[in-house]
Each structure stands twice: as structure tokens, then as C-alpha cells.
Chain A
């Protein structure tokens, strides 16, 4: 955002004249052109979400949920678009958005850090931990840090009282947290929570796979990823067709590809030898995209989600079922 602003040169007067009737969001600092484009882009995304929930009057919560998953929060403009398109009043939608605590009307940081302050966690020192987070992040509960990395919030109970005090960062649970561990939690989050420690993690192990149709091995011993032979397949998306190399370590999400694949793209996977579609019979339990199935040597089927960025996977070593 900042780079584009530099190239165009800021002009605050024009920005002010374009101010929306609803409280302006983070967009006020941008160029009017950027604001308009950004707005249009977000509008298109919302329209796409709405078209998926077409004709479903009870789908307001899922619509808001999908918008929040995409934008990180519910902006005033987004609620306005939903109101206009669904024909419901803005009052109703605002009422729903403020009723549920999982909806946020303020921009959220990249990582959401929830500190449990429920009864069990409270007596084990959750307030001190919340204070420590506030001190370390330089923000207060319910607010975003200045660098837009973290949003800190306190929640009332996460339902894991035996493990308290509990801190959840982006769906990763940290149990028995004390104030000395706060710094480590933040450091680990900044480094990336999804990064898999390949060495020493017993849940990560190499598999050898082959095409489910021609049974030709998909392994490429000459090309190493994570220090193990990679799996090579052909993928296509948006009229692009190229190779994709996956780590053969089950549990690692490292991959290399010929083209840069945007997150959320659902890819078509093909065998590079017989060109058969590798699409399996089932859908991803996480996101609903088709699963890609490959035969594991020594019997069994490994399935991975075909959506870029989704971590849905299944391993069925008995080989039955599918």
C-alpha cells in the first residue's frame, strides 16, 4: 500500500472530499484511485460470496463469516454492500454483526491472539499473562498493534480449563502459559506457527507415492525438497499448465511450482506420465474442494486438498475405503 502511494504522490484534500458517509476505514490514507479500486475489489469479493449464498435468507451469519475470513474484519462498506444486495436493512445486519463476538468491526492484525480469562485461567494468573501480552505487544486488549501484526483479545473461556492458563494464537493452543513464556509465544508467532519442524518431529515421515491410474512412481529422486525426494505432478489453473513439486514428507507443506499460485486457487492435478486426472472421490473436510489421491507404496492412499493454502490431508494406510 505504501509503495503505491509513493509512486502516485499523496494528496490529502482529494482523499477528504471522497470520504464515505460511513466511518472511513483504513483506506483514508490512500490515494483516491487506490481507494476506489480497493473498494471495487472488496465489493466484487463480497458479491462473489453473496452469489454463493443466493436465495438463502438464513445465511446472513455465514455470509458475514465468509466476508470476515476474506477481509479480516467487517468494514462499514462491506455491511452496506450486504444490506443493499440482500435487501435486508443495515440495522439488522449491524445488529447481528455486533451480537456475535467472533465478528469484528475493527481491522484485525495478521495474528489473532486470545488470552483466556475464564475462571480457571483467572485463578492461575491469566490477568498477569494478559498484562504481559499488553506490555510486550504495546497494545491493550481488544486492540491491534501499530504494525498490524497482532490483535490482542481476552476471551471468557476456551473450554480447556485443565490446560490453563490458555493462550490461542491463530488456532494454535499454548497451554500452561506463564508470563515468562509470553515472549516465546510472540516470537514463535512472528516466525510462523505453521512452519513444521521436520527434524525431531515424529509426526513427519517420508512417503513414496505413485499415480493412482498408471501406478507409475511420482517420485523425483534427483530433486530434493526438505532433504527428501520430491513428488512431481502437473497442475493447471487459470489456463496455466505447469509442474508442481511437493515435499514427500507427510506433514510438511513445502512446495515448489513453475508458476506462482495464488492462495485459494483450486488446482487440477495430473499425472505427468499418463496425464490422468488425480482427483479423488472425496472432498476436503476443511474447505470442500476436491481431494487429490495418490497411491502410497506398500499399500494405502494419501489424499491432499487441491486448494492452495488449505492444509486438508488424509492418509489411509490400510488401502480400504476409497
Chain B
């Protein structure tokens, strides 16, 4: 057993436990985006930062990847940690403002606006879908491609993968897109689902009473 201090409370955890698990065991909330039980820790979103050490040697680490150490002093909500988390949320909002998960997290942390150039991405490269596909679905149909600015997630050569069983696990875990949809080129989509289901307002005469609930509406955007 390893004894460490989280926010001043002594806790004994088994070896190999991460700081995130230890903190959650004690009931301290730490927000996460790229963490999911059953998938290997990845440390991509940086939302789970905590402060370890004391004085000038204190530093921020991602708690989901940091293993508990004997005598470690952890602070999960110091002013430095909260400031870092707010910055991360602002950056996430700057790239993926449409994500419900990110918006909820932002408002929970009192972040109401962001100061950066607004983009409308549909991926934060957290790698949840990649890990889901590999570790739980045993498929490895999707993965990271490219580097830097052009880094993206998808199948090799952007064509339907032979390994993909259309399980939908990647969409289920995704915090940024509710559906990883590439509607305009259905054959490139991982699921291919949108090739069969068209948005309701495309055929107006058939659904003319229907109220559109999609904001922004995919079909309307394409029509424009």
C-alpha cells in the first residue's frame, strides 16, 4: 500500500493506482475528457491536471497518467490548477464550440467565453475512439494519421476499413462529435450510417410539419 496526501487528507491506495483514481476514491472531483474506465490512460486533454510537490518545486501533472507515490502531496483544486483548467477549457472551446460535453464542462468551471480565434472543428484528438476501437472492440480500424496541424483520426487511406464492424463504439465515446459524420462523402465515413439516414429537412415535402432541432443543421449548411 502507498500512503499519500490529497488536499491534506491521508489516503492509502494500492500500488499502480493513478492520482485520478485516488482522488476520486476520496471524493474529490477532477474533470476529465479523454479518460474512460476500461481504456488505457492517455493524458491528452489535460483537464485532469493536479498540482504535486511543495513550494517552488510544485508542478502540474496530468492525474490520469501519474501513478501514486509514497508521501506525495497532491492538490486537486489549487488556484494554479483551476487557472490551468480554465485555460484548457478556453482552448477546447476555441476549437470545438459545438460539443455539448465541452460546453457543459466550461459552464461548470465558470468559463463563459474564450479569447482565441474561433474554429469549428469536430475533433479534439483525445484518442478515445482510437483506444475504444483497439482495446475494447479489438478492431484497430481507426488511428491517428499525419502530424501537427494535419493530424487527424480516421481509417488508413480514408476508405472503409476491413477491420471495422460498424460497432459505433467510436461515436459512443466521442466527446466532441455526437456522430462522427462525413455526410457529403458517405463512403469515407467510418459508420456509413448517414448514407442511409438523411436529415429530415432534405425532403421538405415529406416532412413539412417537422421542426428542425439541429443547430447548426447539417442539411441546411450543405444547401447553403
A12: interface (CB < 8 Å): no
Q: Is the interface of A mostly helix, strand, loop or mixed?
A: helix
Return the chain A residue nearest B140 by Cβ. A89
Contacts A21-B162, A89-B163, A91-B141 hold; do A99 and B157 have CB atoms under 8 A apart?
Answer: no
Return the chain B residue nearest A90 by Cβ. B156
Residues of chain B contacted by A76 (CB below 8 angstroms): 157
Residues of chain B contacted by A79 (CB below 8 angstroms): 156
Contact B157 A22 (CB under 8 A): yes
Nearest-Cβ distance from residue B43 to partner chain A, whole angstroms: 18
Residues of chain B contacted by A253 (CB below 8 angstroms): none
Contacts A22-B157, A23-B157 hold; do A94 and B143 have CB atoms under 8 A apart?
Answer: yes
B56: interface (CB < 8 Å): no
Return the chain A residue nearest B145 by Cβ. A98
Residues of chain B contacted by A89 (CB below 8 angstroms): 134, 140, 143, 163
Interface bits A81-96 vs B (CB < 8 Å: 1, else 0): 0000000011111110
Residues of chain B contacted by A95 (CB below 8 angstroms): 143-145
Contact B143 A92 (CB under 8 A): yes
| Across the A-B interface, the 10 shortest Cβ-Cβ residue pairs | A91-B143, A94-B156, A89-B140, A98-B145, A98-B146, A95-B143, A99-B147, A90-B156, A91-B140, A95-B144
B155: interface (CB < 8 Å): yes
7 residue pairs of the A-B complex, CB under 8 angstroms, read A89-B143, A90-B161, A91-B163, A93-B156, A94-B156, A95-B144, A99-B146
* Cα distance A36–B145 in the bound complex, in angstroms: 29
B159: interface (CB < 8 Å): yes
The interface size of chain A toward B, counting residues with CB under 8 Å, comes to: 16
Nearest-Cβ distance from residue B159 to partner chain A, whole angstroms: 7
Contact B142 A91 (CB under 8 A): yes
* Cα distance A94–B153 in the bound complex, in angstroms: 11
Return the chain B residue nearest A89 by Cβ. B140
Residues of chain A contacted by B159 (CB below 8 angstroms): 21-23
Which residues of A from 57 to 114 have beta carbons under 8 Å from B? 76, 79, 89-95, 98-101
Which residues of B from 142 to 174 have beta carbons under 8 Å from A? 142-147, 155-157, 159, 161-163
Residues of chain B contacted by A22 (CB below 8 angstroms): 157, 159
Residues of chain A contacted by B134 (CB below 8 angstroms): 89
Seed contacts A89-B134, A98-B146; 12 additional CB < 8 Å A-B pairs: A21-B162, A23-B157, A90-B161, A91-B141, A91-B163, A92-B143, A93-B156, A94-B156, A94-B157, A95-B144, A95-B145, A100-B147
* Cα distance A23–B155 in the bound complex, in angstroms: 13
* Cα distance A236–B161 in the bound complex, in angstroms: 49
* Cα distance A95–B159 in the bound complex, in angstroms: 14
Which residues of A from 230 to 245 have beta carbons under 8 Å from B? none
Contacts A21-B162, A98-B145, A98-B146 hold; do A91 and B157 have CB atoms under 8 A apart?
Answer: no
Return the chain A residue nearest B133 by Cβ. A91
* Cα distance A288–B112 in the bound complex, in angstroms: 63
Residues of chain A contacted by B163 (CB below 8 angstroms): 89-91
Return the chain B residue nearest A76 by Cβ. B157
* Cα distance A95–B147 in the bound complex, in angstroms: 9
Return the chain B residue nearest A101 by Cβ. B147
* Cα distance A101–B147 in the bound complex, in angstroms: 9
* Cα distance A92–B143 in the bound complex, in angstroms: 7
* Cα distance A94–B154 in the bound complex, in angstroms: 10
Nearest-Cβ distance from residue A46 to partner chain B, whole angstroms: 17
